[in-house]
Structure 1
Amino acid sequence: MASPNRFEHIGFDDFRRFAQDESMSKYERIGFPDSYRQGFEGAIFEDICAKLSNLKKTSRTVVDIGPGCSDLPKMLIDLCASNEHALTLIDSQEMLDLLDNAPFIDKLPAMYPQCPEWVAAQAGKVDVILCYSVLHYVFVDVSFFRFLDVSLSLLAPGGQMLIGDIPNISKRKRFFASETGTQFHKDYMNTDEPPNVEFNRIEHDQIDDAVVMSLIQRARAQGFDAYVLPQNEALPMANRREDILIVRP
């Protein structure tokens, strides 16, 4: 099993390489050790569907930014087939080649949002945008605000965007400063030493509360409703990750 540190500070080109590496598991190819995803993706998809209520409707336009190649996009493909949604998958060609083809699926090989012609054609037409376990990689390749602004321009009235599985270093610190988090750390690391937690310290190249709240504020300033939501407790990293839901009224 790969070390979690193996997947720090990686970007779009790294995932293109991972997609072609047959020595890696389907979870490692999307940046996770097997223990972080194996056996959990059903619960993850259930949590996603609970937040993106438009997925439960029929004949909607759905976009998945950075779907990767694990079972999660396959679950989305099956749901879209059942509910007659039109689905666009945006990722590297190498990742997209690992996913099924179907008449209702449009595969867009691009490093989003660097696909201006597609963005212009879809402006104001998308009912669901899913971006799961991707935002922290945007750090490497694209401006946060450009990523957000382009995405908001796609949403139709009533459209929903879920920026999911955000590793918030501030939330992580709050957890590991608690009694529950301290015991979790000791059990996981097999140690008697408590975790080292430093508040009021800038962590470079990390998403913190300031980043999360700035995305919320920027979306609201453009006329969208935006919320920070907890993950279901059954999810593997719910104690240190959270989601942002944005809705066009």
Structure 2
Amino acid sequence: MIAILCGDALQSTVAGNLLWSTSRDTQEGIDATRLLNARSFPCFCIIVHHGSQQTVQLKLERYTDADECLAEIIYGVQHADQTLQYNRERRTMSDSRGRLLQEQNAAYLDSVRADQEKAEQRLREENERRKIEEEQQRKLQEFAVFRDRLKQTLPSEPSSTENETIQVSIRLPADDPIRRRFRRNDSAKLLFEFAWTNSNVPNQFELLWGYPRKRYQYDQIGDETIGDLMNGNTETCYLEQIDEDK
């Protein structure tokens, strides 16, 4: 059709803008003829989209002269430019809104993700804090049982008239000292066990005595007796709390 009517002129005007064509011998062509109200053939139409509507901008049914036909087509294309410009602006606006919506959605998802991460972090911290508290409570309960057992099993204090005894005073950091007599052949660990029976004594501590002062811890004492480590008849020990992981 293009080659017969106007050749290269129509080709350069329409070119890639000719999007669709059909024959009236097909069902598609019959439907198009009915919708476009075409009465003669060939029928050339320029259809533009205006928003959600489609408008027939030009309907050319009679080709009496090639130049006149081309002029009508050029006029139709130019006349449709306003609608095409509107469509371009509408598409640009739609694209801008689409990009803005994407940015807003991305920002929202980032915010939700950040909130979720914060919530998960708070949950982890709370779980960790609860575990620490539970572990501390468990250790306190175990130590309470341990203290009660020591009170029941601690050997009786020797009398003041008994020979081979040592009077030991254990000075506490914030309380009055505690005192007791021990037999020289008692295990040196008995000093710690006696201290533990006092409710003001922590579960982890070390004792310092002698000149120069030497530090002793319960687990570091082996088979030594009190007489092995203390020479006089009286001795003063200094109790210092230590960290549990020390």
> TM class, shorter-chain normalised?
under 0.3
The higher-RCO structure (CA 8 Å, 6+ apart) is 1
TM-score scaled by structure 1? Answer: 0.20
- Larger C-alpha radius of gyration, 1 or 2? 2
